[in-house]
Every structure is written in structure tokens, then in C-alpha cells.
Amino acid sequence: MVKRKKIVKKKATRAKTKKNVYFFGGGKADGNGSMKNLLGGKGANLAEMAGHPKLRIPVPAGFTITTEVCTYYYDKHGRYPAGLKDEARLALKKVERIMGKRFGDPENPLLVSVRSGARQSMPGMMETVLNVGLTTRTIAGMIKQTGNERFVYDAYRRLITMYSDVVMEKAAGIEPGEGKGIRQQLEKLLSEKKRERGVRLDTELNAADLKDLCEKYKKKVKQVLGKVFPDNAEKQLWGGIGAVFSSWNGRRAVAYRNIENIPHEWGTAVNVQTMVFGNMGEDSGTGVAFTRNPGNGDSKFYGEYLFNAQGEDVVAGIRTPAPINKNSQSDQNRHEVMLKDAMPGIYRQLDAIQNRLEKHYHDMQDIEFTIEKGRLFLLQTRVGKRNGPAAVKMAVDMVKEKLITREDAVMRVRPEQLDELLHPIIDPDAEKKNKFLAKGLPAGPGAAVGMIVFDSNSSVKWAKKGKKVILVRDETNPEDVEGMRAAQAILTARGGMTSHAALVARGWGKCCIVGCGNLDIDYNGKAVKIGDTVLKEGDWVTLNGTKGLVFKGVLPMMDATKENKVLNSFLSICDTIRKMKIRTNADTPEDARKAREFGAEGIGLFRTEHMFYGKGAEEPLFKLRKMILSDTIEEREAALKELYPFVKADIKGTLKAMAGLPVTIRLLDPPLHEFVPHQKEQLEQLAKSLKVDMSNLEKRISLLKESNPMMGHRGVRLGVTYPEITEMQVRAILEATAELVKAKEKVSPEIMIPVVGTDREIDDQRAIVSRVYKEVLKKYHLRKVPLMVGTMIEIPRAALTADKIAEVAEFFSFGTNDLTQMSYGFSRDDMGGFLAPYLDKGILSKDPFQSLDQEGVGQLISLGIDRGRKVRPGLKVGICGEHGGDPDSIAFCYRAGMDYVSCSPFRVPIARLAAAQAAIQGSRGKK
Amino acid sequence: MVKRKKIVKKKATRAKTKKNVYFFGGGKADGNGSMKNLLGGKGANLAEMAGHPKLRIPVPAGFTITTEVCTYYYDKHGRYPAGLKDEARLALKKVERIMGKRFGDPENPLLVSVRSGARQSMPGMMETVLNVGLTTRTIAGMIKQTGNERFVYDAYRRLITMYSDVVMEKAAGIEPGEGKGIRQQLEKLLSEKKRERGVRLDTELNAADLKDLCEKYKKKVKQVLGKVFPDNAEKQLWGGIGAVFSSWNGRRAVAYRNIENIPHEWGTAVNVQTMVFGNMGEDSGTGVAFTRNPGNGDSKFYGEYLFNAQGEDVVAGIRTPAPINKNSQSDQNRHEVMLKDAMPGIYRQLDAIQNRLEKHYHDMQDIEFTIEKGRLFLLQTRVGKRNGPAAVKMAVDMVKEKLITREDAVMRVRPEQLDELLHPIIDPDAEKKNKFLAKGLPAGPGAAVGMIVFDSNSSVKWAKKGKKVILVRDETNPEDVEGMRAAQAILTARGGMTSHAALVARGWGKCCIVGCGNLDIDYNGKAVKIGDTVLKEGDWVTLNGTKGLVFKGVLPMMDATKENKVLNSFLSICDTIRKMKIRTNADTPEDARKAREFGAEGIGLFRTEHMFYGKGAEEPLFKLRKMILSDTIEEREAALKELYPFVKADIKGTLKAMAGLPVTIRLLDPPLHEFVPHQKEQLEQLAKSLKVDMSNLEKRISLLKESNPMMGHRGVRLGVTYPEITEMQVRAILEATAELVKAKEKVSPEIMIPVVGTDREIDDQRAIVSRVYKEVLKKYHLRKVPLMVGTMIEIPRAALTADKIAEVAEFFSFGTNDLTQMSYGFSRDDMGGFLAPYLDKGILSKDPFQSLDQEGVGQLISLGIDRGRKVRPGLKVGICGEHGGDPDSIAFCYRAGMDYVSCSPFRVPIARLAAAQAAIQGSRGKK
């Protein structure tokens, strides 16, 4: 029976013989920052921080188990390489020596954290277990060591909760549900205890309360999961490590990787690190900071911290954290004590460290720190996520500061991030007139309008139906990622600028407001109360993510891009690097003017037929319809004559607006039937004007109908069968050109023949162009006018016979919308019937109409360019499909050797960046 | 302005320096039979006949002006190479010496004919001028020389007619019209003269009449054309030569070359040859003969002649000619005297010559001869056209006679000619019961049914509307070619087996009856009277072209191929030579059986959906519709279960009928909407069965509608979105296979997945196949059953990524219908809107759905095969589009390396021949 042809498969044998565990701590490290693929981002950075002589940063000692072990673990169905446990034991010994404590020791016990760490950060997507090593044997030692019984039982309570949830429940095969898992049941016990003791906060419970709670927790775990909570440090450690590896293929992590295009075969490393405690009293604390402001890019140290708390309390957004310094103050945290004031020495040390880190890494760092009884530890450093405006500002600033090169700056901004700078904002006038309902932290810039929903599932469902939704939650967690993705914006009641919602939204450049305290959400009633206002599911709100304001109803939006100096500086840097020209697809003189403001260097696609759509087009459209429904060549020529002045005026206006930049004018493309009216009055009017009766008119219309209009009588096929249509358009272009030449205006028209499949079609049409060209020169007494004649390459056969076509065509413009349709045999209009299952099953990795199918369609493009240039070395080549605005596709176009890409006006800045990145990657690739 | 990139162009400079004129005659010749490209077919054969030592055939001396002169003439806008006239003069001197006469000499004048002669025969498509050299100065000499004044004035009259029409009118730029040209006006004078003299036949006019007529002719010429008829031999000669060259690009010739695919750049040669006269009295005559019977292939000398006539009288069919011998007798000419009896010596000489010629040329020869006052001259020999049955018989016979090799035999029959042997015939029973209306000469075999029309235009117009027409004419001429082409058959009242109608129809293998004398056609009244019966335009007749019988009305037809021994011998020769397998496209057990009779070696395309079409399909179709309109997977699975037994039975029957030959079963391909009923009762029945109301059903139906169904939700896309449909079909195939295996039957099923664009689609479907395969083995307690899983390559992207696809697919079958649609972006259903102008303008040289576009689509095929075999060297490759039955396309498939072609059952014999020819051409090409 059938078998897939075997391709050589890299076996995960490396882990058998190689080093699997990398120690770090005490000024030394086995690894370093360059080993991200092996140690994961977190592990590599911990090694770098601990071991690099220029950094010497206090890091709790620990070790990293490599990503190769993870690969092995999956290949071998959950087994580890043979020597792994011995290696880990040796590393742990070193940690014990440096920290002066012993793991599982009843007297002086070492506690560790077990955390994931992939090559690329996947915040919150995998499991973590803290306080590993606390057992009935070590509790007493811990109490002796810390002198804080309450703290130890609190840590124990946290360990039981986390471990039973992350390790034991997962091992039992239960995926996290809503309010049904062990975690929820344990938290219920906590609430009961608080009620019983008449207190509101966890911190109000005393040691005895917590000790009692721990016993109740363990009983509950046994009862719910049928297993005893392990009372052995070693067992806890390997349970935690296994849980982290397992979580690499958890539903959340897989979904995240699919969204972020992270390969599933990379695997995660595991970091086992000495626990340091930010919750050891008022001389302890924990925080997250950024070397620059990730929200706007300001070059100022920025961070938040919580006294007497563990790290996850900051990220989870349960308490609103305090600012570390003045730069980090906001309306929400202004009343809290700054770290700078509370612990000036620690702050200075931290500030010095963040300075060293940014200089060392040449990029903004996102760092986690803990203060344990007045002692500062860095737990993590990594390149900080930032939103688009911040990314652009940092890139421009760092070039000025000589921290990075111009090329680095260009590579620092993802093209999608520019999108954020181009996002609409609320019309300032409308915003002034409306009182906002609520104010939160401005976690994601731009504005958004949508209908509110209160859970992730509804967000996904409504969005699939094409509705614009805004996800409103108390706080978000990794389970909400898909719903957040589907929403226009996210609004949460709790959490700070470093909360889950803020981090995720920032990564996506999505509008987001967090910590909007006066939101009172009723999940069951599907409503939110804000002051006196009650909003129900489906009600419209408008968010200003740049300021953190929530408005009721729909407010008008406007363009945010005008006069953005930082953006323009950044794009100027891009322009000095890129090698491809950027043109735009524009159909009117106004579009043309707008596109030039965006930086377009020409029009790559002017669709003549667009003058028949939209407002003001009634008269030319009526005349076009008369032409289409003409029965004889005489009728048609008469109608064309009426149409002529409209076409000429439109083209002339556009040519003039582009002031000498090239304008590619495509001859009439769509099947004629598309223009036929459907309303009775319009048909009657037409019949009257054509002097035929309705039945005759209907007969003419029915003759135009096609089974597959996409592959029907359109483009050059119209021009061949109705040469008079081509002639009219060509004359309009050339007379407009001649008149502008006479008026000493600069013009550069390019006639583009669409839907060409063979060189003979262009030959046929070119004969018309040549004749009209001579006639126009004569009429205007000119010796020549500028003109190029080329073709769209959008039919596979045209690409295949590009050598012949280039004998006739002076330029190629790849129409990748149609080229994708024909190459894949996908009708874009009908693809809805199967696109979703195709994406879900991974049969298509992307919608090929969004991002060019480089593997298939790309072959036709490369081959078409090569063959065309073989015959006509100077052949000008561009792209005018919608892929011209997609960064991946732009990079492909550059590699394929195109001279320009053309995209919608709004995408021009993004294309400028993408083209610059492509040029850099191209020259780096060559080296 | 735009210019076509210049490609190096072969300049016609050769003619400047090379020999342009080739003499022949008197046992010598400058050229020989191998020089067809230079001298044309006629010129090369005249040289061969005259000059070859083994032939020594009496040929009137003359010379040939080369085809290169024609090319020069067109390149230089009507000018000749510098030395041409001198060369011609020298050659003419030689002719004069041999013939003992002088051109333009008043005493002993030489007359010549000026004829065209292309590489490939184009009968009647170019001009001829006879009797060149007759002037007022030479008439007297001719009279003295022949002693026949009447004959000379008749020749003069013919010269004036021909010359004024062919040379003078053409030079004036007038294309031949109907009854408006100079020829018609001169013939009117002839008719008037006959009326005036009270005679019926031309031969009844005496010398004085003709002399007077010649004067009247010359006056009329001056009056109509404004120029004097040239009274100078040299001027006449060069006028004639120019007219022949000009006629190469005349409308008729161009149309003929387009039909026959003769390159327009070949050009024609001109043959100038001494006139010999078959009209010099009762010891003179002229005839056309074939070394074997061109109508049935019998190895018997066959021919017709006319006493006292010039050659064109035989061809024009004005008088019914006499048989040369008994083999050539028919009902029409039985009463005429045979040449064998009338001139036994001449006949013996002719018979010996024809024997020498056939042995020399190893092929049946078509010869023209003239007897001038008891002396035999051969005017021409060429390979004789023959109809399909004759071609096949001759090929088989000549192999037996060791005259030719098996390879020669295969190359001797054009694939289209086999078609004639496969033509239907009239059901013999019906034929017996019906009395025929009329009987004529059986000029083209097979039978035809159609509505009669009386002119070429109507034939073309009616045929375009899809009507079957039979063209009825007194006689046909080259102007009628397009109408003859459009007709099912041709029926003429006049002419013999070598008349224009007979020759042309034979070339096309078209049913044709000529010389049907009792037809009385009234062109104006658009009616024909046959005895007492009057048939009007549009009335139906049935023709038996094999017997020459005309029946009124529509008679039933039947298959002619059964038990054709000669055909089977011939195809057996083909089978020993060809290297590709021939499969067939068959959808039912009956089709499968029939295809095996035709020689099919497997089924290349079994369309599962075809069981839902046609008679007897009501029940499965109804169940299919239920399945299609199911709303839930449960509904659909229930409907599939009902459908299952039908599908399985159908497949099992076909597998059994093919007895172990491979059967490629394509999974459901068309968009589901195609199966939805349109009639109200059917819809209601369906709604009832599905237990939904009509509005619900209509909603479901409307969801299936697509804008471009050809590129919509079909083929594997259905299988991916509805895996249960794939599963049902696969189970049916595998259970049918398992049951046949159990019953010790041989089976070889191949599952073919259609509309694949990426390897992942096959992966997805293959997983279903693998699972069902295991389940079926288990159910039937079998360890394995034969099965291959492959794909159609019909999406351009599939060809481009064939290397990936071949990792999964065990075979490729090129679906060239869809591949052509997608590659060209031509919707076959909608192409009518522009196909005709595209062919007319030469933008397409052929309909790409009839004959594969090797330049474009062919690239994808070659590339797909190469890439597929790179990954899977043993990859089985075939074609199952309709191109699989087109000889040119089959040759391409062979060159591209395919293992088989699959075509409709009726085309299988043609494919067997085409594949053998491809193999021969392939190995010849390699040598």
C-alpha cells in the first residue's frame, strides 16, 4: 500500500552523548548568551548575565536543561537521555555550594523554581512551578532559616496549589477548565478560610491559618486527583521538569506557536533556579522593568514593582504595582511609593545594571528582579517587547545614540508594527465633545470601535461572523489568547502595564486598556457596570488606547499618520537602504495625491474601470453600459465616443498629480457583465437610450453571462474582440499625455495590457497603440511623447512563455491575485467554502491571497522574470497584486529581482520598511 | 515608442546568388525527387521522372523556378532576384532545343503551361495558366503546325479567359466574386455565341465562331479591366509566373494552409512546361490515374480519362470521364470505352510506367497523363491521396509485398484517416428496407445524415449553430472549401472520382458522393429535384458514401469497426512498434468492455460521478442529492450509507470487466452544486425525504452556488472538507477489490485524487485511505490487496511542486482539460465569446482544448514529470484529458516520457497508431 517517500530524518540522538545540563551562578556559567537555540532565551541570558565578565550581575544560581532534551523527550515518548539525572545532580551540587544550602536538607533547605524557556519567548504559555523542595521534612528548616513561619506556610500553600494544578492534574490528563480544576477548588478553600476568619486579604491570614489550610489542601488534592501530594524534594523537582516539557505541546502553547509562526519542533529548555523571595517582608519585593518605555519608546528607565510579593503577582495584575521611579508614574500608581524612594541603594544598583544590560545587548531589555531581604537578584533579562510607536522611536533614538547601526534600526521594527502608527485615532473634535465613561492604563495605542463581549469564545465566534468585538475581562490569562486575537481591542479591569493583557496586546500592536478599576463585570448577566452606566453584551464602545479612555457608542475615527516626525525619520533611514521602488495602486487623482504623501514613487496600478464605480460615476457608468450593450460596432463606437472625455479627464488628472512619476494604466480588465445594472429602472433607461425594447436588452445581457467569469471574456480578450475599446482608451491616454507635454508638465505613462496569455495578444494590441500613437503625434504636432507598453503577468502561461512576451512587452507587472487564483485553481470569491478547514488542518499554512505562495506561485514569478530578462535585460518588473503590501511577499519580490512593488496607499510605509529589510537580509544572506 | 525586440531573421539572400531555375526534359534534369523543399512536389517529381536513369519517363520538357524565389518575391515586395530572367531564358533555350520549337516563334511556336508547385500539394488552391505563348504572331504557326484552326482558336480562347482572370484581374486587385468577374463575363459571351449559333456544346462551335469569339473576348477584357490582353509571349510568360507567386497568398490558399497546417513561409515553386494537347482530336486525350485504387486500397491500376480534352476537363468534372481499364469501371462510366481497348499500346506503356513509378517511390502514385496525337506524356506524379480505408489496406498490403517496412506502414496512415474506418455506417437492415433516391460515385466512405444546403456560406452558418448539414452542389470549386469543411458530407451532381469534391473530401476522410447525375438543383429556389421528389433547403437526407447512395430522411446508423481484419492487422503492426500503453476513459462496466474491444489496455479515468448521470441513474442520483444537501455530518453519513451499495456495485462491475488491467478511479470531482435539481417536483421530493421545508432546502442550495465553480469547492477540496465522502468511496473501491480477490479475480485498482494543488492535500486523503485499507483487510481476513494511490495533475501549482507531490503520490495522471483552463486562464464554457476571433487573427493557432498547447501547458507537463521522477524514479505517468486522443498531443506525451495515454473508447485505435508514430519519430529523431 501507499507510503510517503521517506526523506532523511534527523534523529534526536545528540542528546544521548552531549552535555544536557548547563550550570550558572556565582560569577560563572557553562553557557552564554549566544546559545539561545540550545538553552532557550531565558537560560542563555541567565548564563550571559551570570557569566559574562562585563556584566557580573547577581543571579540566583541554577542550571538549564537543554532544548535537545525536550526533543529527545518527545521522540522517546516521555523518556530522558540516560545520564540526565546524574548531570542534573552534579549541577545541583554546585548550586548548593554557591548558595550555601542543600536541596531537601531538613536544616538548611534549598528551594528552586522550575521554569520553561524556549528560543523565542512565549510568555505565560508554558508551565512554571515555584518553591520546589518544600516538604514536611524541610519546612522546619525553612522556618528556622527565615524566622518566618507564616511565610513558609504561604510558600507551601502556593507550592501545593501550583504543583497539583500544573504537574498532578496534567498528569491525570485534565486540561484546565473554567472553575472545575484543582486550582479553583483549592482557591475555594482559601476563600472559605478568609470568610471563616473574617478577613479580606490573603495577607491577613496568619501562620496557623495557613498551616491548617495546607493540610486541607493536601486532603483535597488526594480526594480530587486520587494521588498524594509528593513529600519528597527530588520527586517534586522531576515532576516539575516533566510538567514543563509536557507543556510545550499543551493546547495553549501550540495555539500561540501557530499564531506566532514558531516551529513546533524547536522544544523548550527547563531552567531550575534557586528560589529567592520577594515576599519575605517589607524589605523584600519583586518587579519588572524595561530599560526604555515599551509603550512610547522614551529613553527612560521604566518599571513597576510590588513590596512583599512574588514575581507572578506583578505579571498576573492581581495588585496594581508601584512605579520604580518618576518616569514610571501614571494616574493609577501615582499614590504608591517609588522604589527609588523606598530603597534608594537597591534602585541605584538596579539602574546601573539596566544600563550595563542595554549597552551589552544593544537593545531595550525587559528585566525581572527580586529583592530578598534587602538583596537584589536579577531573575531574567530579555529583549523587551514594544509596540510599534515605541519600536520606531527606539530605533531612531538608538541610531542617534550610536548604540546601533542604521541597518540594525531597520531590522528592529517589524513591518506589522508600523501598522500601529498608521492606525486610525478617534477624531479629536469628537473626542473632546464626548465625556469618557472610564479611564485605564494605556497598554496598546491607537483607537478601536466594537461591540463588547465578556469571554474569549464569544469573541472568536462573533469575529468569525465579521463582527467587530472588544473583549472585556477582569483580567486576561493565557486561555484568553485566541479571543484577544479575534477582538479589535482588549479592556481589563485589573492589571498594570506589564500584565498579561498588556504584554500580549503590545506584541500584536493591538489597542488595549488595562487596570480600568471602575469596571464592574457581571459575567453571568453578560453586562458591565461603569458608574451608573450598564453596558450589555453587544453594546458598542470606542477605546482610545493611547490615552486609556473608554467611550460609550461609536465615535468617528481619523488618520493618525500625518506629521509624524519620528515615523518619517525612520522611513528616511529605510529609504537610504532599500533598493526597490515603492509604488501604489491608485485609481483617481485624489488617491494619487494621497499616495505621494505616503511616499509612493509612482502608480503601479491605475484601474481604468474604477472610474465607473462609486459616487459621481453615474454618468460615465451609464455611457459604459451603453457601450457594453451595443449590438453593432457602430453602436459601440458611438457609445465609446460619448465615454471618451470622461476617461481622458480622469487619466489626465492622475498623470498630472503624479508629476512625472510613472503611472501604469491598465486597460479595461473585468468581464463586461460586471457593469450591467440589475435594477429595473436602470435597465429601462438603458433600453430607451439604446432604442431597443426590454426583451432585446435582456437578450443582450444574457449573452454576456459566463460560467466562470474569472477565466472568461475579459482583459486583453476584450481588447482583441473589440479593438475599438482599446483604441478609445489608448487615445485617451496619449491625448492626455500629449496635452500635458504641450503644457510643459512632466508625464510618464505606461500602458499595461491585462490577462495576457501569449505574446500574440500583445502584438495585436500593440498594433493599435502604434497606430494611435502616430495619429496623436500628428494631431498635436509632436515628434514624440513618453510611453511604455507592457503587460500584467497574471496567467500562468504568460509566466511560462515570458521570453516570448518580453520580446513585445517593455515591462512586466505581476498580478499576483489572479496568478494565485490560476496557479492554485482557487477562486477567491468561492474559497470561503474550504479556506477555514484548509488552514485548520495545516494544508495551507497561510491564506495565499494574503501572503504570496512562494513555493508554487513564486516559481512562476522567478521563472517569468528570468526568462523575460534573458530576452530583454533591462525589463522593468514589478508586482501590483495585493501581495505588494505584505512584508514576506515583498522580501520575496526583492529576492526575485523586481524593480518595484505596488500596494495600496496605506501600505506604502510598510512596504518601504519591508523593502529595506529585504535589502539588508539580501546582502547579509550573500555574505 | 514600443518596439518588438528584434530576433535574428533569416534574410532571403540565398536567392541572390544561388541557382534559381532548374531545367528538366529529354532524359535529363538539373534537380531530383529529393528536392521538394526547393522545387516543390511537382517540380521535384518532374525532375525525378525525367532525369532518373531507372525511370526514363516521357515528360514534356520545362523548368522549375524555386520556392526560394517565392520567398524573395514576398520579402522584396514583388521583385525577383537579379539574374532570374536570364536563367529562365537559358532554360527555355534548352526546352526549345529538345522540343524542336521556339517560344514566340511565328513559324513553329512553343506553348507552355505555368503552374504552381508547393512542397505539399494544395490542389486547386493556386493559379495555373495554360497555352502561354499564343499571340496573333504565333497563331498562324500553330495552325500550320497542327493543321487544326479550330483547335488553335479554342486554345487561344482558353488562354484569354484564364489569363484575364488569373493574371489581369488579380493585378487589378479584384478577388473572385460570384458571377461578377471577367471569367463570368467571357463565359456569357460564349453562351451567347452558342445561342446565336443554335448549338449546345462548346465542341459544336467551329473555327470561325471561335476566332470571332476571341476578338470579342479581347474587347471585353479591355472594356472591363481597362487593359489590353498582352500580345507578346514573353510578357504572357512573366505575367503567368507572377500570378502563380501572388496566388500563394491568395485568400483560398491561405485558408487551405490554415486548415492543413502548412506553414505560410514555405512558398511555392513555379513550373513552366511545354504544353502538350489532349484536345488535338480523337487520337488525343488526357487522364488521371492511381497506381492503386485510392478509394479502397485495392492493388489495382485505376484511372479515368477523356478523349480530346485538356487535363482540367477531367479534374473540373465537366464531362464524366471514361475508365482506363476494367478495374476503373463503375455504374456511371461502364458505357464508355476503356483506354485499354481504345489505345492498347498507349495503355501498355502507361501501365509499365505506373509500375516503375510505384516501385521507385515505394508508394501509391497519383499521375497525370496526356496523349497528344497518339504520343504519351506524363505531366505529373505525386504520392496519391487516399481515404482512410485505402491508406490502411495499402499499408498492410505493401508490408506483405515487402515494398515498405513496418515502420513505413505505420507512418503511411494519418491518425485522422483511421477515423474514417471508425465512422458509423447506415444500419444495413434499415438500408435494405429503404429505396434510395439517387446514386452517384462513392467518393468518400462512411455514412452521414444532415439537412441539405445549397451554398458554402449557408453550410458554414448552419454548422456554427450546431446543425448537421450536407452541402449539395452541381460541382464544387476551391471557393467552396470552407463550406465543405463545415458539412457532414458533400453531394454533387457532376464530376468523377478525381473531381475537386472527391479529392478534397478524400483528404479529409469525409463522406462524399459525386457525379450524381439526376440531381436537378435550383439554387434560386433553394431546392433540388430528384426524379419526382423535391427536397428543400433544411430537408434531411442520409448518404451512404461507401456505395454512393442518397436516401430521403434520417436512417439509423451503426458501428462499422467490428470484424475489420485489415484494420486489426494494421493496428497489430502499430502495437509492435509503440512504447506507450493506451488506456481509455470509461465510466461503466459496459464502457469498459467496449474499450477493451477497441484495444484499451486499462482504464485511465473512471469518473465516479458519471454513475449519477443518464438513464437508470435516478435512484443513486436522488441519494447523492440527499447527501449533498445534508446539513449535518450525521445527515450526510446516513445519505452516504444509502449511496454506498450503488457505488460499490458500479466499481466492482468495472474492475471485473477489466480483468486485472489497471483501473484508475477518480474520487468525486465536480462541485456539488452541479448535481442539484432544478425542477420543482424533484426539489419537493428531496425536501420531503430530507424532512425540511422548501425554503430551508433552497437556502442550502443557494449556499452551494459559486462565482467560478471551475476553481471552487470541488475535487480533493470536497474530500478534505467532507472526509466522509472520501471514506465512502474508498471503502467501496477496497471492498469491491477485496471481494474480487476473494473470488480469485484479477484486479488492479488505482485511486486517483483530483484537483490537487499541494502534497498536503494528498497526505490528508491518504490517511483516510490507509485507515480504510486496514479496516477492509481485517473485515475480509486478507493480508493485502492491490492498490495504488496517485493524483491528477491538473492545477498548475501541482505541476510546479511535483517533486513534493511525488513523495506521496504513486502515479500522476495529467488532467489536461483543467490544466489548460488554469494555465491559459480560459474557461472552456465561456471561451465561445472570443475563440473564433482568436483563431481568425492567428492569436491561437489551434483550439488549445483540441490539441495540447505544447509551448505553454506542455512546459508544466514536462517539468511535472521531470520533478516527479527525480523523487520517485518509477513514477507512473499518464494523461487523461481529452488530448489523450489527439495525435499531436500523443506525440508530445511520448516525448515527455509518459507511460500511457488515456482517451475515449472510440479514439483508442487512433491513439494506438499515434503512439506508434511517436515512437518511430522519437527513434528517428534520436538517430
DSSP string, B478-528: GGGHHHHHHSSEEEESS--TTSHHHHHHHHHT-EEEE--TTEEEETTTTEE
Tell me if chain B has a CB within 8 Å of the CB of A872.
yes
Q: Report residue B572 CA to chain centroid gap.
A: 24
B231 within 8 A of B170, measured Cβ to Cβ: no
CA gap A139, A160 in Å, rounded: 13
Indicate the DSSP class of residue B905: G
Residue corresponding to grid cell 494590441? A765
Query: Terminus-to-terminus CA distance in chain B, angstroms?
Result: 47
More confident residue, B518 or B490: B490
- CA dihedral defined by B247, B253, B257, B260, rounded to 10 degrees? -140
CA gap B114, B63 in Å, rounded: 10
Tell me if chain B has a CB within 8 Å of the CB of A783.
no
B314 within 8 A of B496, measured Cβ to Cβ: yes
Residue B356 pLDDT > 60, yes or no? yes
Question: Cβ contact (<8 Å) for B709 and A708?
Answer: yes
Residues of A in contact with B712 (CB under 8 A): 827, 830, 833
Residue B303: what pLDDT? 94
Task: Give the minimum alpha-carbon distance from B843 to chain A in angstroms, rounded to a whole number.
Answer: 5
Reported as a single tens digit per residue, the pLDDT across A820-871 is 999 999 988 788 778 888 988 889 988 898 899 999 999 999 999 999 999 9
- Mean pLDDT in residue range A575-579: 96
Plot region of A526 (φ>0 → left; ψ -120 to 50 → alpha; else → beta): left
Question: Cβ contact (<8 Å) for B706 and A801?
Answer: no
| CB-closest option in A720, A770, A800 to B834 | A720
Reported as a single tens digit per residue, the pLDDT across A9-32 is 444 444 456 899 999 998 899 999
The DSSP element (H or E) to which A450 belongs, if any, is strand A447-453
Helices and strands per DSSP (H, E), number in chain A? 37, 34
> How confident is residue B10, by pLDDT bands cut at 50, 70 and 90?
very low
Tell me if chain A has a CB within 8 Å of the CB of B712.
yes
Residue A10: what pLDDT? 46
Which of the residues of B are catalytic? 500, 880
Q: Cα–Cα–Cα angle for A185, A187, A190, nearest 5°?
A: 120
> How confident is residue A4, by pLDDT bands cut at 50, 70 and 90?
low
The DSSP element (H or E) to which A798 belongs, if any, is helix A796-800
Residues of B in contact with A712 (CB under 8 A): 827, 830, 833
- Mean pLDDT in residue range B513-535: 90
Residues of B in contact with A770 (CB under 8 A): 1-2
Task: Give the minimum alpha-carbon distance from A11 to chain B in angstroms, rounded to a whole number.
Answer: 20
- Mean pLDDT in residue range B716-720: 95
CA gap B496, B492 in Å, rounded: 10
Task: Give the minimum alpha-carbon distance from A734 to chain B in angstroms, rounded to a whole number.
Answer: 12
Residue B186: what pLDDT? 92
Task: Give the minimum alpha-carbon distance from B780 to chain A in angstroms, rounded to a whole number.
Answer: 16
The grid coordinates listed for A601 are 514613487
- Nearest 5°: phi and psi at A470? -120, 125
The grid coordinates listed for B750 are 488505482
**By three-state DSSP, how is residue A35 classified?**
coil
Residue A177: what pLDDT? 47
Residue A560: what pLDDT? 57
Residue B18: what pLDDT? 83
Question: Cβ contact (<8 Å) for B770 and A2?
Answer: yes
Tell me if chain A has a CB within 8 Å of the CB of B764.
yes
Residue corresponding to grid cell 553557557? A31
| CB-closest option in A4, A711, A844 to B827 | A711
Residue corresponding to grid cell 532571403? B12
Tell me if chain A has a CB within 8 Å of the CB of B72.
no
Task: Give the minimum alpha-carbon distance from A798 to chain B in angstroms, rounded to a whole number.
Answer: 8
Indicate the DSSP class of residue A783: S
Residue-wise DSSP of A289-320? EESS-TTT--SS-EEEEEET--HHHHHHTSSP
Task: Give the minimum alpha-carbon distance from A253 to chain B in angstroms, rounded to a whole number.
Answer: 23
Interaxial angle between packed helices B723-742 and B633-657, expressed in degrees from 0 to 180 and rounded to the nearest 10: 30
CA neighbor of B575 nearest in space, from B594, B601, B557, B597: B601
Helices and strands per DSSP (H, E), number in chain B? 37, 34
The grid coordinates listed for B709 are 465553480
Cα A754 to Cα A342, A666, B250, B506, distances in angstroms: 71, 7, 34, 44
Pairing of strands B489-492, B469-473: parallel
CA gap B671, B859 in Å, rounded: 28
Single-letter amino acid code for the residue at A193:
K
The DSSP element (H or E) to which A573 belongs, if any, is helix A565-577
Tell me if chain A has a CB within 8 Å of the CB of B783.
no
**By three-state DSSP, how is residue A99 classified?**
helix
Single-letter amino acid code for the residue at B271:
N
The grid coordinates listed for B291 are 497506381
A window 716-745, beta carbon within 8 A of B? 717, 720-721
Residue B509: what pLDDT? 67
| CB-closest option in A709, A761, A859 to B800 | A859
Least confident of A561-575, A706-720, B573-587: A561-575
Question: Cβ contact (<8 Å) for A830 and B706?
Answer: yes
Which of the residues of A are catalytic? 500, 880
- Mean pLDDT in residue range A473-484: 84
Residue B179 pLDDT > 50, yes or no? no
Plot region of A825 (φ>0 → left; ψ -120 to 50 → alpha; else → beta): left
Residues of A in contact with B855 (CB under 8 A): 801
**By three-state DSSP, how is residue A155 classified?**
helix
Reported as a single tens digit per residue, the pLDDT across A238-291 is 999 999 999 998 888 888 888 788 898 899 999 999 999 888 878 999 999 999
Tell me if chain A has a CB within 8 Å of the CB of B833.
yes
Tell me if chain B has a CB within 8 Å of the CB of A777.
no
Reported as a single tens digit per residue, the pLDDT across A328-348 is 988 778 889 999 999 999 999
Residue B536: what pLDDT? 95
Tell me if chain B has a CB within 8 Å of the CB of A857.
yes
CA gap B157, B217 in Å, rounded: 8
Give percent of chain B above pLDDT 70.
94
Residues of A in contact with B770 (CB under 8 A): 1-2
CB atoms closer than 10 angstroms to residue A402: 7
Tell me if chain A has a CB within 8 Å of the CB of B713.
yes
Residue B677 pLDDT > 90, yes or no? no
The grid coordinates listed for B744 are 480469485
pTM exceeding the 0.80 threshold for the entire prediction: no
| CB-closest option in B2, B713, B842 to A789 | B2
Q: Which of B40-54, B686-700, B775-789, B833-847 has the highest mean pLDDT?
A: B775-789
Residues of B in contact with A670 (CB under 8 A): none
Reported as a single tens digit per residue, the pLDDT across B120-178 is 888 888 989 999 999 999 999 999 888 889 889 989 999 999 999 888 887 776 655 44
Residue B660: what pLDDT? 93
Alpha helices in A172-206 (DSSP H): 182-197
B112 within 8 A of B237, measured Cβ to Cβ: yes
Residue A202 burial (CB < 10 Å; 0-12/13-18/19+)?
middle
Residue B614 pLDDT > 70, yes or no? no
Give percent of chain A above pLDDT 90.
59
Residue B3: what pLDDT? 54
Residues of A in contact with B738 (CB under 8 A): none
CA gap A650, B557 in Å, rounded: 63
Residue B880: what pLDDT? 92
CA gap B126, B112 in Å, rounded: 17
Indicate the DSSP class of residue A851: S
> How confident is residue A60, by pLDDT bands cut at 50, 70 and 90?
very high
Residue-wise DSSP of A515-532? --TTEEEETTTTEEEETT
- Mean pLDDT in residue range A788-810: 97
